[in-house]
Structure 1
Amino acid sequence: MKAIFLDKDGTLVDDLPYNVEPGRIKLCSRAGAALRLLSRLGYRLFVVTNQAGIAFGRFGEPAMESVHEHLQDLLFREQLTLDGFYYCPHHPDGSVAAYARVCHCRKPMPGLLLEAAQEHGIDLRSSWMIGDILHDVEAGNRAGCRTMLIDNGNETEWRLGPRRIPTRMAPDLYAAAVLIASHGGAP
C-alpha cells in the first residue's frame, strides 16, 4: 500500500495556530480536488501533525478526537476517506509535565510516519510526505518517503541540510498532487 502523509495546519487545512475548534477548521483551497486525484492514483490518506498546544496546556488531548472527526467529515463531503490520523502531543519546552519531553514522534523525527506504516502495511518508498515546513520534509526523508514542500510562506527558517531537501516543491496542495501524478511510480 502507498500513502500520502499530510501535515495538517497550513497543508491540509488553513493555518490557525493552536486551533482545535471544529467550526474554524477549513480545508485549504482545492484540497478536495487534490486528494481525489491522489486517491484515484491509489494513495491512502494519513494526517501526521505536531500538536504542541497539548504540551503547552492550550488544549487537552481529548480535543484531538473532535479535530479528527471534523476532518473526516470535511473529507467525506469531498467523497474522500481519511485512513489515519496521527499526532504528537509533545514539546521539549512544554508546560504540562506529561508532555514536556523529547520524543521520536515530533516532526522532524519520523515516528508518526513509521507508526502509521507499521499499523497499515504502508510501503514508505512508494509514499509521499507533504508539508509546509522543512520539519515535514525531514520527517518524510527520515522515514524513507519522497517529500513535497508546499512553499506557501509558512517556512521561515530555511535551515537546509541533507534530510531537509524535498523531492519536489509546489505552491499549494493541488499543484503538489499534479506533480505527484506526473512523477509516476519511480521512487
Structure 2
Amino acid sequence: MKLNKALFLDRDGVVNIDHGYVYQSEQFEFIDGVFSTCKAFYDAGYKIIIVTNQSGIGRGYYSESDFLALTQWMKQRFLQHQVNITEVYFCPHHPTNAQAPYLQQCNCRKPKPGMILQGIKEHNIDTEKSIMVGDKLGDILAAKAADINTSVLVKSGKSLDESALKSADYVFNSIDDLTQLLTNT
C-alpha cells in the first residue's frame, strides 16, 4: 500500500490569525500566504491535515456545531483556491478548565500526539516525508511524539519562547517561507 505524505497544520496562528476562541466566519481572518503555500504543497502531492486544540468548546464558549460549521466554511474557502483539506481533527478537551464531559486528560490535546496519530492511521501517512507546522511549542512536541520527520514553527508576527525556537527543525517568520522545504522533499 502506498504511503502518503502530509502537511499537518495547526489552525489558530497558522491558518488564521489567532484572535482567541474564533468560532464564527466573521472573526476568521486567514493568514497571508496560507492559500498559496497550501496550494504548492497540495500540488506536490501532500495531503493537507489540520490538527487543532479547541478548548473553547470544553469551556462552553461555543459548541461543537459552531466549530463544525466554521470548519465547513473554512474548507470551502480552501476549495476556492483549489486546495482540498483532507481532514480537520480537533480536541475539545482541557485538563483543568472545562465543563463535563470535556474536563479530562486526553491523548488528543497537543502537546499529546493523538490527533496527528489518528491522521497518520486514517490516511496512511508516511511520517518520514511529512511536515507539521505550528506556532507554539505544543505543536512541535506533538509532531515529535508522533515521529513526524520535520517540524516547523512559524512566528506569525509574535515572539516565541526559547524552548519553542530550539525544539523546531525550522523556524520561519511566515507560512510563505514554508515552500522552501518543497525543494528538499
Question: TM-score when scaled to structure 2?
Answer: 0.91
Residue segments in structure 1 that go unaligned for 5+ positions in a row:
none
CA RMSD of aligned residues (A): 1.6
Contact 2:133 2:153 (8 Å CA) reproduced = yes
Alignment partner of 1:4: what SS?
Answer: strand
Classify 1:121/1:52 alpha carbon distance in 2 versus 1 (closer, same or farther; 3 Å).
same
Structure 1 residue ranges, 4+ long, deviating more than 6 angstroms after superposition: none
Distance 2:128 2:46 in 1: 13
Q: Secondary structure at the match of 1:148?
A: strand
**Aligned residue number for residue 80 of structure 1:** 83
Counterpart of 1:148, as a letter, is: V
Q: Pick from 153, 167, 186: which aligns with 2:169? A: 167
Is 1:67 the equivalent of 2:66? no
**Percent identity among equivalent residues?**
28
CA deviation map 1:73-127 (0-9, x unaligned): 1101111110000000000112312011111100011100000111111111211
Measured after TM superposition, the shift of residue 157 of structure 1 is: 4.2
Which letter does structure 2 place at the counterpart of 1:181? L
Q: Does the C-alpha gap of structure 1 residues 160 and 77 become closer, same or farther in structure 2, counting only changes over 3 Å? A: closer
* Counterpart residue number, 2:182: 181
1:152 aligns with 2:153: no
Equivalent residue number for residue 22 of structure 2: 19
The equivalent position to 1:49 in structure 2, one of 52, 57, 70, is 52
Tell me, in whole angstroms, the C-alpha distance in 1 between the residues paired with 2:22 and 2:157: 19
CA change 1:155–1:144 in 2 (3 A) is farther
Structure 2: distance between partners of 1:155 and 1:88 = 25
Task: Name which of 94, 97, 102 aligns with 1:99.
Answer: 102
Residue 158 of structure 1 deviates from its aligned partner by 3.8
2:118 and 2:162 map into 1 onto residues whose CA distance is 27
Could you say which residue in structure 2 is the equivalent of 1:124? 127
Tell me which amino acid in the other structure corresponds to 2:71. H
- Superposed displacement of residue 155, structure 1: 5.6
Distance 1:30 1:153, change over 3 A: closer
Asked if structure 2 preserves the Cα contact closer than 8 Å seen for 1:129 and 1:148, the reply is yes
| Cα distance change on mapping 1:31 and 1:160 into 2, 3 Å | closer
Summarize deviations over 1:121-170 as a string: whole Å, max 9, x none.
11112110001111111111111111000023546444459xx6111111
**Distance (Å, rounded) in 2 between the aligned partners of 1:160 and 1:173:** 17
Q: What is the CA-CA distance between 1:47 and the residue it aligns to? A: 0.6
C-alpha separation in 1, matches of 2:90 and 2:162: 24
Q: Which amino acid aligns with 1:35?
A: C
User: Which consecutive residues of structure 2, in runs of 5 or more, have no partner in the other structure?
Assistant: none
Aligned residues: 181
Partner of 2:144: 141
